[in-house]
Amino acid sequence: MTRVLLLENPHSVADSIYEAAGVEVIRYTGALDEDELIEALKGVHYLGIRSKTDVTRRVLEAHPQLRAIGAFCIGTNQIDLPAATELGVAVFNAPYSNTRSVVELAVGEIIALTRRITVKNSRLHRGIWDKSADGAHEVRGQTLGIIGYGNIGKQLSVLAEAMGLNVIFYDTAERLALGNATQMPTMESVLREADIVSIHVDGGAANANLFGAAQFAQMKPGALFINLSRGFVVDLESLRENLVNKHLAGAAVDVFPEEPKANGDPFESPLAGLDNVILTPHVGGSTEEAQRDIGRFVAAKMCDFMRTGSTDMSVNLPNLQLQPSASSRYRIRLIHNNTPGVLATINRIFAESGANIDGQILATAEAIGYVLTDISSEIPCEAIEAIRSLPDTVRLDISALDGTVPSPCGQRRD
Protein backbone atom coordinates (compact mmCIF):
# COMPACT_ATOMS: atom_id res chain seq x y z
CA MET A 1 0.00 0.00 0.00
CA THR A 2 1.38 3.42 -0.98
CA ARG A 3 1.37 5.74 2.05
CA VAL A 4 1.75 9.47 2.61
CA LEU A 5 2.60 10.97 5.99
CA LEU A 6 1.16 14.45 6.56
CA LEU A 7 2.50 16.61 9.41
CA GLU A 8 1.46 20.00 10.81
CA ASN A 9 -2.16 19.82 9.63
CA PRO A 10 -2.26 20.70 5.94
CA HIS A 11 -5.82 21.27 4.72
CA SER A 12 -8.01 18.16 4.62
CA VAL A 13 -8.64 18.65 0.89
CA ALA A 14 -5.22 16.99 0.45
CA ASP A 15 -6.54 13.79 2.04
CA SER A 16 -9.32 13.43 -0.51
CA ILE A 17 -6.87 13.91 -3.39
CA TYR A 18 -4.47 11.28 -2.05
CA GLU A 19 -7.27 8.85 -1.24
CA ALA A 20 -8.73 9.22 -4.73
CA ALA A 21 -5.29 8.19 -6.02
CA GLY A 22 -5.36 5.07 -3.83
CA VAL A 23 -2.89 6.41 -1.28
CA GLU A 24 -3.27 5.75 2.45
CA VAL A 25 -3.02 8.96 4.49
CA ILE A 26 -1.33 9.06 7.91
CA ARG A 27 -1.58 12.32 9.88
CA TYR A 28 0.25 13.89 12.81
CA THR A 29 -1.06 17.24 14.04
CA GLY A 30 2.29 18.75 15.00
CA ALA A 31 5.88 18.81 13.78
CA LEU A 32 8.33 15.99 14.48
CA ASP A 33 11.99 16.17 15.40
CA GLU A 34 14.61 14.21 13.49
CA ASP A 35 14.40 10.94 15.46
CA GLU A 36 10.60 11.07 15.59
CA LEU A 37 10.43 11.63 11.84
CA ILE A 38 12.76 8.73 11.09
CA GLU A 39 10.49 6.46 13.13
CA ALA A 40 7.26 7.79 11.63
CA LEU A 41 8.47 7.34 8.04
CA LYS A 42 8.76 3.57 8.27
CA GLY A 43 6.72 2.12 5.43
CA VAL A 44 5.93 5.61 4.05
CA HIS A 45 6.63 6.59 0.44
CA TYR A 46 5.57 10.26 0.39
CA LEU A 47 5.86 13.02 3.00
CA GLY A 48 3.92 16.25 3.44
CA ILE A 49 5.11 18.97 5.84
CA ARG A 50 4.74 22.65 6.51
CA SER A 51 7.42 24.96 7.90
CA LYS A 52 8.35 23.48 11.29
CA THR A 53 9.55 19.99 10.37
CA ASP A 54 13.18 19.72 9.27
CA VAL A 55 13.92 17.01 6.71
CA THR A 56 17.64 16.38 7.07
CA ARG A 57 20.08 14.24 5.12
CA ARG A 58 19.97 11.73 7.98
CA VAL A 59 16.20 11.41 7.60
CA LEU A 60 16.44 10.97 3.84
CA GLU A 61 19.24 8.43 4.00
CA ALA A 62 17.30 6.41 6.58
CA HIS A 63 14.40 5.97 4.16
CA PRO A 64 15.44 5.07 0.60
CA GLN A 65 11.80 4.18 -0.15
CA LEU A 66 10.80 7.86 0.14
CA ARG A 67 9.86 9.15 -3.31
CA ALA A 68 8.75 12.75 -2.84
CA ILE A 69 8.21 15.52 -0.27
CA GLY A 70 5.48 18.12 -0.46
CA ALA A 71 6.02 21.40 1.39
CA PHE A 72 2.53 22.77 2.04
CA CYS A 73 3.92 26.31 2.14
CA ILE A 74 6.14 28.59 0.09
CA GLY A 75 9.52 27.92 1.68
CA THR A 76 11.65 24.80 1.31
CA ASN A 77 14.61 25.82 3.47
CA GLN A 78 13.47 23.24 6.08
CA ILE A 79 14.37 20.48 3.59
CA ASP A 80 17.94 19.48 2.74
CA LEU A 81 17.47 20.02 -0.99
CA PRO A 82 20.99 18.96 -2.06
CA ALA A 83 20.54 15.66 -0.21
CA ALA A 84 17.05 15.15 -1.64
CA THR A 85 18.36 15.76 -5.16
CA GLU A 86 21.33 13.48 -4.67
CA LEU A 87 19.03 10.69 -3.46
CA GLY A 88 16.42 11.22 -6.17
CA VAL A 89 13.63 12.52 -3.92
CA ALA A 90 11.38 15.05 -5.67
CA VAL A 91 10.36 18.14 -3.68
CA PHE A 92 7.26 20.22 -4.41
CA ASN A 93 5.97 23.40 -2.77
CA ALA A 94 3.22 25.99 -3.24
CA PRO A 95 4.97 29.13 -4.49
CA TYR A 96 1.82 31.09 -5.32
CA SER A 97 -1.15 29.72 -3.38
CA ASN A 98 -0.87 31.84 -0.24
CA THR A 99 0.73 35.00 -1.61
CA ARG A 100 -2.53 36.94 -1.48
CA SER A 101 -3.04 36.02 2.19
CA VAL A 102 0.44 37.24 3.13
CA VAL A 103 -0.06 40.46 1.17
CA GLU A 104 -3.40 41.19 2.80
CA LEU A 105 -1.87 40.71 6.26
CA ALA A 106 0.92 43.12 5.33
CA VAL A 107 -1.61 45.71 4.12
CA GLY A 108 -3.64 45.37 7.31
CA GLU A 109 -0.55 45.79 9.46
CA ILE A 110 0.62 48.82 7.48
CA ILE A 111 -2.70 50.54 8.17
CA ALA A 112 -2.87 49.42 11.81
CA LEU A 113 0.65 50.63 12.59
CA THR A 114 0.31 53.89 10.66
CA ARG A 115 -2.88 54.72 12.56
CA ARG A 116 -1.36 53.50 15.87
CA ILE A 117 -4.29 51.14 16.34
CA THR A 118 -2.19 48.76 18.43
CA VAL A 119 -1.35 51.49 20.95
CA LYS A 120 -4.93 52.79 21.11
CA ASN A 121 -6.28 49.25 21.51
CA SER A 122 -3.84 48.40 24.29
CA ARG A 123 -4.61 51.58 26.24
CA LEU A 124 -8.35 51.21 25.94
CA HIS A 125 -8.15 47.63 27.21
CA ARG A 126 -6.38 49.05 30.25
CA GLY A 127 -9.18 51.59 30.78
CA ILE A 128 -7.30 54.57 29.36
CA TRP A 129 -9.25 56.85 27.00
CA ASP A 130 -6.77 58.41 24.56
CA LYS A 131 -8.65 60.19 21.78
CA SER A 132 -5.90 62.05 19.97
CA ALA A 133 -4.26 62.18 16.55
CA ASP A 134 -0.72 62.19 17.92
CA GLY A 135 1.47 59.95 15.74
CA ALA A 136 -1.45 58.72 13.61
CA HIS A 137 -1.18 59.16 9.86
CA GLU A 138 -2.87 58.19 6.61
CA VAL A 139 -1.00 55.70 4.45
CA ARG A 140 -1.67 57.86 1.39
CA GLY A 141 1.49 59.73 0.45
CA GLN A 142 3.75 57.53 2.57
CA THR A 143 6.67 55.66 1.00
CA LEU A 144 6.70 51.87 1.27
CA GLY A 145 10.06 50.17 0.89
CA ILE A 146 9.88 46.50 -0.09
CA ILE A 147 12.93 44.31 0.43
CA GLY A 148 12.52 41.32 -1.89
CA TYR A 149 10.43 41.86 -5.02
CA GLY A 150 9.26 38.31 -5.69
CA ASN A 151 5.69 37.00 -5.93
CA ILE A 152 4.62 38.51 -2.60
CA GLY A 153 6.59 41.73 -2.94
CA LYS A 154 5.07 42.42 -6.35
CA GLN A 155 1.49 41.86 -5.18
CA LEU A 156 2.07 44.08 -2.16
CA SER A 157 3.49 46.73 -4.48
CA VAL A 158 0.30 46.79 -6.57
CA LEU A 159 -2.10 46.96 -3.61
CA ALA A 160 0.00 49.56 -1.79
CA GLU A 161 0.09 51.81 -4.82
CA ALA A 162 -3.70 51.49 -5.17
CA MET A 163 -3.98 52.88 -1.62
CA GLY A 164 -1.85 55.89 -2.51
CA LEU A 165 1.52 54.74 -1.23
CA ASN A 166 4.71 55.47 -3.14
CA VAL A 167 6.58 52.19 -3.64
CA ILE A 168 10.33 51.66 -3.83
CA PHE A 169 12.03 48.28 -3.63
CA TYR A 170 15.34 46.48 -3.52
CA ASP A 171 16.09 43.01 -4.86
CA THR A 172 19.39 41.29 -5.55
CA ALA A 173 18.12 40.51 -9.07
CA GLU A 174 16.96 42.94 -11.71
CA ARG A 175 13.15 43.00 -11.55
CA LEU A 176 10.39 44.42 -13.71
CA ALA A 177 8.77 47.15 -11.61
CA LEU A 178 4.98 47.06 -11.61
CA GLY A 179 2.96 50.26 -11.83
CA ASN A 180 4.97 53.25 -10.65
CA ALA A 181 7.24 51.28 -8.31
CA THR A 182 10.95 52.08 -8.50
CA GLN A 183 13.81 49.63 -8.08
CA MET A 184 16.57 51.12 -5.92
CA PRO A 185 20.27 50.34 -6.36
CA THR A 186 20.93 49.27 -2.75
CA MET A 187 19.00 48.16 0.31
CA GLU A 188 20.40 51.16 2.18
CA SER A 189 18.87 53.54 -0.36
CA VAL A 190 15.45 51.99 0.37
CA LEU A 191 15.91 52.20 4.14
CA ARG A 192 16.87 55.86 4.09
CA GLU A 193 13.78 56.87 2.07
CA ALA A 194 11.01 54.56 3.24
CA ASP A 195 8.45 55.43 5.91
CA ILE A 196 7.51 51.74 6.07
CA VAL A 197 9.87 48.83 5.38
CA SER A 198 8.42 45.39 4.62
CA ILE A 199 10.64 42.31 4.26
CA HIS A 200 9.73 39.63 1.69
CA VAL A 201 12.93 37.68 1.03
CA ASP A 202 13.24 33.92 0.57
CA GLY A 203 14.76 31.39 2.94
CA GLY A 204 18.18 31.26 1.29
CA ALA A 205 21.22 31.11 3.55
CA ALA A 206 22.39 34.47 2.21
CA ASN A 207 19.44 36.15 3.94
CA ALA A 208 20.37 34.98 7.44
CA ASN A 209 20.88 37.97 9.76
CA LEU A 210 20.01 40.31 6.89
CA PHE A 211 18.61 42.90 9.25
CA GLY A 212 20.47 44.03 12.37
CA ALA A 213 21.66 47.14 14.18
CA ALA A 214 23.33 48.68 11.12
CA GLN A 215 20.21 48.36 8.97
CA PHE A 216 17.86 49.71 11.65
CA ALA A 217 20.18 52.69 12.11
CA GLN A 218 19.81 53.46 8.38
CA MET A 219 16.02 53.65 8.63
CA LYS A 220 14.23 56.99 8.97
CA PRO A 221 13.34 58.07 12.52
CA GLY A 222 9.73 57.16 13.18
CA ALA A 223 9.61 54.53 10.43
CA LEU A 224 7.67 51.26 10.66
CA PHE A 225 9.13 47.77 10.18
CA ILE A 226 7.34 44.59 9.03
CA ASN A 227 8.74 41.08 8.66
CA LEU A 228 6.52 38.37 7.21
CA SER A 229 9.32 36.42 5.51
CA ARG A 230 11.68 34.30 7.65
CA GLY A 231 12.49 34.39 11.34
CA PHE A 232 16.26 34.20 10.94
CA VAL A 233 16.33 37.33 8.79
CA VAL A 234 16.01 39.83 11.66
CA ASP A 235 17.88 40.43 14.93
CA LEU A 236 14.91 40.80 17.28
CA GLU A 237 16.98 42.18 20.17
CA SER A 238 18.15 45.00 17.93
CA LEU A 239 14.59 45.58 16.74
CA ARG A 240 13.41 45.82 20.34
CA GLU A 241 16.13 48.33 21.17
CA ASN A 242 15.10 50.56 18.26
CA LEU A 243 11.45 50.38 19.31
CA VAL A 244 12.14 51.13 22.97
CA ASN A 245 14.37 54.12 22.18
CA LYS A 246 11.64 55.32 19.74
CA HIS A 247 13.91 55.36 16.68
CA LEU A 248 11.17 53.21 15.12
CA ALA A 249 7.50 53.95 15.69
CA GLY A 250 6.24 50.39 15.42
CA ALA A 251 6.73 46.91 14.02
CA ALA A 252 4.85 43.80 12.96
CA VAL A 253 6.47 40.36 13.08
CA ASP A 254 4.92 37.06 11.98
CA VAL A 255 7.99 34.79 11.90
CA PHE A 256 10.58 34.05 14.56
CA PRO A 257 14.02 32.42 14.81
CA GLU A 258 12.59 29.73 17.09
CA GLU A 259 8.92 28.81 16.98
CA PRO A 260 6.86 26.37 19.07
CA LYS A 261 6.31 22.99 17.43
CA ALA A 262 2.58 22.81 18.19
CA ASN A 263 -0.36 25.01 19.15
CA GLY A 264 -0.53 25.64 22.86
CA ASP A 265 3.23 25.41 23.42
CA PRO A 266 4.77 28.38 25.26
CA PHE A 267 6.15 31.29 23.23
CA GLU A 268 8.74 33.88 24.22
CA SER A 269 10.07 36.88 22.33
CA PRO A 270 12.00 40.05 23.20
CA LEU A 271 9.18 41.93 21.45
CA ALA A 272 6.45 40.61 23.75
CA GLY A 273 4.73 43.28 25.83
CA LEU A 274 5.43 46.22 23.51
CA ASP A 275 2.14 47.91 22.62
CA ASN A 276 3.50 49.33 19.35
CA VAL A 277 4.26 45.83 18.03
CA ILE A 278 1.94 43.37 16.29
CA LEU A 279 2.96 39.77 16.95
CA THR A 280 1.27 36.97 15.01
CA PRO A 281 2.09 33.21 15.21
CA HIS A 282 3.36 32.58 11.67
CA VAL A 283 -0.09 33.00 10.11
CA GLY A 284 0.82 35.09 7.06
CA GLY A 285 -0.46 32.38 4.74
CA SER A 286 -2.95 30.91 7.18
CA THR A 287 -6.32 31.77 5.77
CA GLU A 288 -8.84 29.08 5.00
CA GLU A 289 -8.72 30.02 1.33
CA ALA A 290 -4.93 29.85 1.14
CA GLN A 291 -4.64 26.61 3.07
CA ARG A 292 -7.28 24.95 0.90
CA ASP A 293 -5.50 26.10 -2.27
CA ILE A 294 -2.13 24.95 -0.94
CA GLY A 295 -3.54 21.57 0.05
CA ARG A 296 -5.07 21.08 -3.37
CA PHE A 297 -2.01 22.29 -5.30
CA VAL A 298 0.70 20.33 -3.50
CA ALA A 299 -1.29 17.10 -3.22
CA ALA A 300 -2.15 17.28 -6.93
CA LYS A 301 1.49 17.80 -7.91
CA MET A 302 2.58 14.85 -5.77
CA CYS A 303 -0.15 12.61 -7.21
CA ASP A 304 0.87 13.60 -10.75
CA PHE A 305 4.39 12.55 -9.83
CA MET A 306 3.13 9.24 -8.45
CA ARG A 307 1.07 8.45 -11.56
CA THR A 308 3.19 9.78 -14.41
CA GLY A 309 6.54 10.86 -13.04
CA SER A 310 5.72 14.50 -13.85
CA THR A 311 8.10 16.86 -12.07
CA ASP A 312 6.35 20.01 -13.25
CA MET A 313 7.22 22.75 -10.71
CA SER A 314 9.48 20.51 -8.64
CA VAL A 315 12.00 22.73 -6.87
CA ASN A 316 14.94 20.32 -7.10
CA LEU A 317 14.53 17.97 -10.07
CA PRO A 318 14.46 18.89 -13.77
CA ASN A 319 10.89 19.78 -14.72
CA LEU A 320 9.49 17.16 -17.12
CA GLN A 321 6.08 16.14 -18.46
CA LEU A 322 5.44 13.48 -21.11
CA GLN A 323 2.04 12.73 -22.63
CA PRO A 324 1.84 8.98 -23.36
CA SER A 325 0.56 7.73 -26.69
CA ALA A 326 -2.32 5.28 -26.97
CA SER A 327 0.13 2.42 -27.59
CA SER A 328 2.37 3.12 -24.57
CA ARG A 329 2.29 0.34 -21.96
CA TYR A 330 5.03 1.19 -19.46
CA ARG A 331 6.66 4.35 -18.22
CA ILE A 332 10.23 4.16 -16.96
CA ARG A 333 11.45 7.01 -14.75
CA LEU A 334 15.19 7.28 -14.38
CA ILE A 335 16.92 9.83 -12.16
CA HIS A 336 20.64 9.73 -12.84
CA ASN A 337 23.89 11.58 -12.38
CA ASN A 338 24.35 14.16 -15.11
CA THR A 339 27.23 12.56 -16.96
CA PRO A 340 27.70 12.23 -20.73
CA GLY A 341 26.34 9.14 -22.45
CA VAL A 342 23.67 8.00 -19.98
CA LEU A 343 20.81 8.35 -22.47
CA ALA A 344 22.75 6.54 -25.17
CA THR A 345 23.55 3.72 -22.76
CA ILE A 346 19.98 3.12 -21.62
CA ASN A 347 18.67 3.28 -25.19
CA ARG A 348 21.26 0.71 -26.24
CA ILE A 349 20.05 -1.56 -23.42
CA PHE A 350 16.44 -1.14 -24.55
CA ALA A 351 17.36 -1.83 -28.18
CA GLU A 352 19.36 -4.95 -27.35
CA SER A 353 16.46 -6.29 -25.23
CA GLY A 354 13.92 -5.69 -28.00
CA ALA A 355 11.95 -3.05 -26.05
CA ASN A 356 10.22 -0.52 -28.30
CA ILE A 357 10.55 3.13 -27.20
CA ASP A 358 7.28 4.94 -27.82
CA GLY A 359 8.23 8.32 -26.35
CA GLN A 360 11.12 9.81 -24.44
CA ILE A 361 12.15 13.10 -22.86
CA LEU A 362 15.29 14.13 -20.98
CA ALA A 363 16.20 17.18 -18.92
CA THR A 364 19.20 17.97 -16.76
CA ALA A 365 19.88 20.46 -14.00
CA GLU A 366 23.41 20.83 -12.69
CA ALA A 367 24.47 17.43 -11.28
CA ILE A 368 21.22 15.54 -11.88
CA GLY A 369 19.40 14.27 -14.96
CA TYR A 370 15.88 12.89 -15.38
CA VAL A 371 14.57 10.71 -18.22
CA LEU A 372 10.98 9.61 -18.87
CA THR A 373 10.71 6.74 -21.34
CA ASP A 374 7.48 5.14 -22.58
CA ILE A 375 7.64 1.57 -23.87
CA SER A 376 4.97 -0.03 -26.07
CA SER A 377 6.26 -3.59 -25.70
CA GLU A 378 7.08 -5.96 -22.87
CA ILE A 379 10.29 -5.14 -21.03
CA PRO A 380 12.67 -7.98 -20.14
CA CYS A 381 13.64 -8.02 -16.48
CA GLU A 382 17.30 -8.13 -17.40
CA ALA A 383 17.00 -4.77 -19.20
CA ILE A 384 15.48 -3.11 -16.15
CA GLU A 385 18.12 -4.58 -13.86
CA ALA A 386 20.90 -3.54 -16.25
CA ILE A 387 19.71 0.09 -16.14
CA ARG A 388 19.21 -0.06 -12.39
CA SER A 389 22.77 -1.34 -11.99
CA LEU A 390 24.38 1.46 -13.99
CA PRO A 391 26.87 3.46 -11.86
CA ASP A 392 25.08 6.72 -12.70
CA THR A 393 21.59 5.50 -11.76
CA VAL A 394 20.19 7.29 -8.70
CA ARG A 395 16.65 5.90 -8.83
CA LEU A 396 14.64 3.89 -11.31
CA ASP A 397 10.89 3.26 -11.16
CA ILE A 398 8.52 1.68 -13.66
CA SER A 399 4.74 1.94 -13.79
CA ALA A 400 2.11 0.46 -16.09
CA LEU A 401 0.35 3.26 -17.93
CA ASP A 402 -2.92 1.29 -18.02
CA GLY A 403 -3.00 1.28 -14.21
CA THR A 404 -2.14 -2.39 -13.77
CA VAL A 405 0.72 -3.56 -11.58
CA PRO A 406 3.89 -4.14 -13.63
CA SER A 407 5.93 -7.32 -13.37
CA PRO A 408 7.82 -7.78 -10.07
CA CYS A 409 11.16 -7.20 -11.78
CA GLY A 410 10.04 -3.78 -12.99
CA GLN A 411 9.25 -2.16 -9.66
CA ARG A 412 11.26 -2.36 -6.48
CA ARG A 413 10.07 -0.87 -3.21
CA ASP A 414 13.19 -0.28 -1.14
Can you tell me the distance from the alpha carbon of 237 to that of 235, in angstroms, rounded to the nearest whole number?
Answer: 6
Active site residue 348: no
Q: In what order do the strands lie in the sheet with 357-365?
A: 357-365, 368-375, 330-337, 393-400
Active site residue 86: no
Q: Are strands 143-147 and 166-170 parallel, antiparallel or unpaired?
A: parallel
Active site residue 282: yes
Can you tell me the distance from the alpha carbon of 110 to that of 20, in angstroms, rounded to the nearest whole number?
Answer: 42
| Cβ-based neighbours of 101, under 8 Å, separated by 6 or more | 284, 285, 286, 287, 289, 290
Burial degree of 404 (CB within 10 A; 0-12, 13-18, 19+): exposed
**Catalytic option among 45, 63, 282, 333:** 282
Helix and strand tally (H, E) in the chain?
13, 16
| Cβ-based neighbours of 70, under 8 Å, separated by 6 or more | 46, 47, 48, 49, 91, 92, 93, 298, 299, 301, 302
309 near 320, Cβ under 8 Å? yes
Can you tell me the distance from the alpha carbon of 7 to that of 45, in angstroms, rounded to the nearest whole number?
Answer: 14
**Catalytic option among 61, 241, 259, 378:** 259
**Catalytic option among 11, 50, 230, 331:** 230
Which residues are designated catalytic? 230, 259, 282
